[in-house]
Amino acid sequence: MGKSYSSTTCIEQLTTLCSKGLIKEAFGRFKSDLWSDPSLFSHLLQACIPRKSLSLGKQLHSLIITSGCSSDKFVSNHLLNLYSKIGDLKSASTLFGHLPRRNIMSCNILINGFVQKGDLGCAQKVFDEMPERNVATWNAMVTGLVQFEYNEEGLGLFSEMHELGFSPDEFTLGSVLRGCAGLRGLSAGCEVHAYVVKCGFEFNLVVGSSLAHMYMKSGSLVDGEKVIKSMPIRNVVAWNTLIAGKAQNGQSEGVLDQYNMMKIAGFRPDKVTFVSVLSSCSELATLGQGQQIHAEAIKAGASSVVAVISTLISMYSRCGCLEDSLKAFRECEGADVVLWSSVISAYGFHGRGEEAIKLFEQMEQEGLEANDVTFLSLLYACSHCGMKEKGIELFDLMVQKYGLKPKLEHYTCVVDLLGRSGCLEEAEAMIRSMPVKADAIIWKTLLSACKIHKNADMARRIGQDVLRQDPEDSASYVLLSNIHASARRWQDVSEVRTAMRDRKVKKEPGISWLEIKNKVYQFRMGENCLPQYMAIDLYLKELRSEMKLHGYVPDTGSVLHDMDNEEKEYDLAHHSEKLAIAFALINTPEGVPVRVMKNLRVCIDCHVAIKYISQIKNREIIVRDASRFHHFKHGKCSCGDYW
Ligand code: ZN
Ligand code: ZN
């Protein structure tokens, strides 16, 4: 009794020393027969995993050999596990090759090691050569395939496993459902759901959350919610699944409700929760709420996580507070390429191209290597500032110096860049010759450029391409019709309108919103049940006369409907962003900047009108539309009429 107690204490002390890397000290202090006990090494090896130190592993390895414990199967599996976890698959494979007796356990360890390294080929080889497998073996392989988005292969392996008579556990089912989510395969997902119910895993926490995630990722939010609501107990993962599902399906208001309910239910939000909730604040541009969640993230100790900081940078930028974006970035020590890209993108979004490029240069000086996301942010910044030469230079740098393959998004930025600066032919040539397949967005980008440069001939030619790619997109019809209208091609205008009517395409309604004292107010054209509608209407009427005195002329040319001029003017005057701005001017004290968000692009008339309003009322007005930020001040806009 006494002896075993003392040897346990010895093992504990030795383990502590070794896990601190003090092997020599340990060896010097305990020169007893302990060193020939295999169970000691099993302990030591396990204790050393968190240190992830290869030299420590190698030292232990040679000790094991000299002590004669290397033929013990537990010791060798622990050693194999240590090498795998550290990521030294070469040493792991050599050791595996010399094992006198390999068992399922050793093979599973090696497969997991290869999977973690992303070397699925080697993992598969070990898997194929195994004479015998268990559920953990299948799990390792299925999880690995799904993790690297070989979803179909993962599901295929699952069927094979099932046919061979293995019963899946919660981890298998979790991976399989993630595979279905990755494929957005609702029918495969439903089959697995039925199977889950049959096996009785319906109320399992891991499986339940994966099931909900699968539904939500496939766009079926209601079914996902049903699964979560039927779970007898929920954990943080289940709450996060629900919150992220709402965020991804565009139900930003629902996100905040669920977040509050989660806290009421006694759960502490974690970094995953904060990323989802902050993204929703960013989507809704609810600055007040965003600041509150930021404070809560600090309190929860999640504000130094890269993903959270990156979301904060983008949230502040999208709420119109570029300074706070920069502050969130500066407060973080040792920013990585993700954060640099986020802050570069924030500057681009606000049309501050020069500064975005300066940041990029600083990033290079700090020895960080830009990736395709960084270049996308840079190209975006250039295209929004009309910096054509610089943009083309960066595109070449990306391809030639960095050896990165441009994606469709990069080409879209360059087409935008060329198009805005009037090089329409070049832009079209680029679309027709690029190695990736063109989508509706890139064609629409060129179409917008045709509008800016009044090239109705090209618009007519490429209009077909645009409408073929996305016949449901109302914005393209409106754009095309406007181009023809300003070139006075009434025949073309009526053709576009007929096509739109025939295909039953509805114009997406314009919605503007703003936040005052943490409350969000929404405005739509023609909705006169708003609070203070009468006051807004009157205010706009007075404002309009004052604007006209300053030289404002309503641009009725961009109104699509068939109506007389007076009606058109009334219509224009009640665009949602004008309603929102009037509401803000009535309800906020002088000198406070007005921040308004819009789901579509600001129309030409509103853009002109807001310039006058900013001057007459001496207010800074910040409008975020579908494509960028407009900072209106003293009768000018930061976009330089490029949008
Ligand atoms: Zn408008
Ligand atoms: Zn503007």
Task: State the DSSP H helix or E strand holding residue 493, giving kind and residue range, or none if neither.
Answer: helix 490-502
- Report residue 191's pLDDT band, with 50, 70 and 90 as the boundaries: very high
269 DSSP 8-state letter: P
Residue 325 has a pLDDT of 94
Asked whether the beta carbons of 300 and 278 are under 8 A apart, the reply is: no
Residue 50 has a pLDDT of 78
Ligand nearest to the CA of 606: 1
Ligand 1 centroid to Cα of residue 574, in Å, is: 8
Closest Cα partner for 610 from 619, 601, 600?
619
Separation in Å, CA 377 to CA 465, 554, 565: 27, 36, 42
The stretches of 249-321 forming alpha helices (DSSP H) are: 252-264, 271-284, 287-299, 306-318
What average pLDDT score do residues 85-104 get?
90
Tokens of 573: 């005057």
Ligand 2 centroid to Cα of residue 519, in Å, is: 26
Residue 8 has a pLDDT of 67
End-to-end CA distance of the chain: 82
The residues, any chain, with a CB within 8 Å of residue 597's CB and separated by 6 or more, are 284, 285, 512, 513, 514, 623, 624, 625
Residue 385 has a pLDDT of 84
Q: What digits encode the pLDDT tens for the residues 318-350?
A: 888 899 999 999 988 888 999 999 999 999 888
* CA torsion through residues 367, 368, 374, 375, sign: positive
pLDDT over 70 at 54, yes or no: yes
| Strands of 395-472, DSSP E | none
Ligand 2 centroid to Cα of residue 237, in Å, is: 42
Closest Cα partner for 119 from 96, 94, 93, 81?
93
Closest Cα partner for 557 from 510, 501, 625, 605?
605
Ligand 1 centroid to Cα of residue 352, in Å, is: 25
- Report residue 4's pLDDT band, with 50, 70 and 90 as the boundaries: very low
Beta bridge partners of 511: 524
Closest Cα partner for 300 from 326, 324, 327, 277?
277
What average pLDDT score do residues 393-412 get?
94
pLDDT over 70 at 581, yes or no: yes
Residue 46 has a pLDDT of 82
Ligand 2 centroid to Cα of residue 436, in Å, is: 32
132 DSSP 8-state letter: S
Q: What are phi and psi of 3, to 5 degrees?
A: -65, -45
Residue 139 has a pLDDT of 95
Ligand nearest to the CA of 627: 2
37: left (phi over 0), alpha (psi -120 to 50) or beta: beta
36 DSSP 8-state letter: G
Ligand nearest to the CA of 577: 1
Closest Cα partner for 169 from 144, 139, 140?
139
CA–CA gap between residue 119 and residue 115 (Å, rounded): 6
Ligand 1 centroid to Cα of residue 524, in Å, is: 11
CA–CA gap between residue 420 and residue 207 (Å, rounded): 50
pLDDT over 90 at 618, yes or no: yes
Tokens of 357: 């490029």
Q: What digits encode the pLDDT tens for the residues 129-175?
A: 999 999 999 999 999 999 998 999 999 999 999 999 999 999 999 99
In angstroms, what is the C-alpha Rg of the chain?
31
Ligand 2 centroid to Cα of residue 638, in Å, is: 6
HEC assignment per residue over 338-356 = HHHHHHHHHHHHCCCHHHH
Q: What are phi and psi of 167, to 5 degrees?
A: -90, 120
Ligand nearest to the CA of 523: 1
Over the chain, what is the mean pLDDT? 88
Ligand 2 centroid to Cα of residue 51, in Å, is: 54
Ligand 2 centroid to Cα of residue 622, in Å, is: 9
Ligand nearest to the CA of 642: 2
The residues placing their C-beta within 5 Å of ligand 2, an ion, are 630, 637, 639
Q: What digits encode the pLDDT tens for the residues 153-166?
A: 999 999 999 999 99
Ligand nearest to the CA of 602: 1
Ligand 2 centroid to Cα of residue 639, in Å, is: 4
Separation in Å, CA 518 to CA 190, 353, 595, 596: 40, 31, 13, 14
Go through 21-43 and write b for each residue having 16 or more CB atoms within 10 A of its CB, e for each that does not: eebeebeeebeeeebebbebbbb
Ligand 2 centroid to Cα of residue 320, in Å, is: 14
Ligand 2 centroid to Cα of residue 354, in Å, is: 18
Ligand 1 centroid to Cα of residue 174, in Å, is: 48
Ligand 1 centroid to Cα of residue 575, in Å, is: 5
From the CB of residue 180, how many other CB atoms can be counted at a distance below 10 Å?
28
Tokens of 383: 């295209």
Ligand 2 centroid to Cα of residue 472, in Å, is: 27
Separation in Å, CA 338 to CA 287, 366, 398: 23, 14, 17
Length of the chain equals: 643
Ligand nearest to the CA of 384: 2
- Report residue 563's pLDDT band, with 50, 70 and 90 as the boundaries: low
Task: State the DSSP H helix or E strand holding residue 324, giving kind and residue range, or none if neither.
Answer: helix 322-330
CA–CA gap between residue 459 and residue 493 (Å, rounded): 12
Asked whether the beta carbons of 38 and 69 are under 8 A apart, the reply is: yes
Asked whether the beta carbons of 628 and 582 are under 8 A apart, the reply is: no
Task: State the DSSP H helix or E strand holding residue 519, giving kind and residue range, or none if neither.
Answer: strand 519-524
- Report residue 7's pLDDT band, with 50, 70 and 90 as the boundaries: low
Ligand nearest to the CA of 581: 1
From the CB of residue 405, how many other CB atoms can be counted at a distance below 10 Å?
10
pLDDT over 90 at 30, yes or no: no
Ligand 1 centroid to Cα of residue 452, in Å, is: 17
Ligand 1 centroid to Cα of residue 317, in Å, is: 23
Residue 528 has a pLDDT of 67
Ligand nearest to the CA of 350: 2
Among 18-32, 362-376, 463-477, whose mean pLDDT is lowest?
Answer: 18-32
Ligand 2 centroid to Cα of residue 407, in Å, is: 28
Burial of 422 (0-12, 13-18, 19+ CB in 10 A): middle
Beta bridge partners of 622: 595, 631
Residue 33 has a pLDDT of 62
Asked whether the beta carbons of 157 and 144 are under 8 A apart, the reply is: no
Ligand nearest to the CA of 598: 1
Question: Domains in the chain, start-ordered, CATH in brackets?
Answer: 1-130 (1.25.40), 513-637 (no CATH)
pLDDT over 60 at 205, yes or no: yes
Asked whether the beta carbons of 322 and 355 are under 8 A apart, the reply is: no
- Proportion of the chain above pLDDT 70, given as a percent: 95
Unique residue bearing structure tokens 């405005």 = 523
pLDDT over 80 at 637, yes or no: yes
Ligand 1 centroid to Cα of residue 299, in Å, is: 42
HEC assignment per residue over 163-199 = HCCCCCCHHHHHHHHHHHHHHCCHHHHHHHHHHHHHH
What average pLDDT score do residues 593-598 get?
90
Beta bridge partners of 631: 622
624 DSSP 8-state letter: E
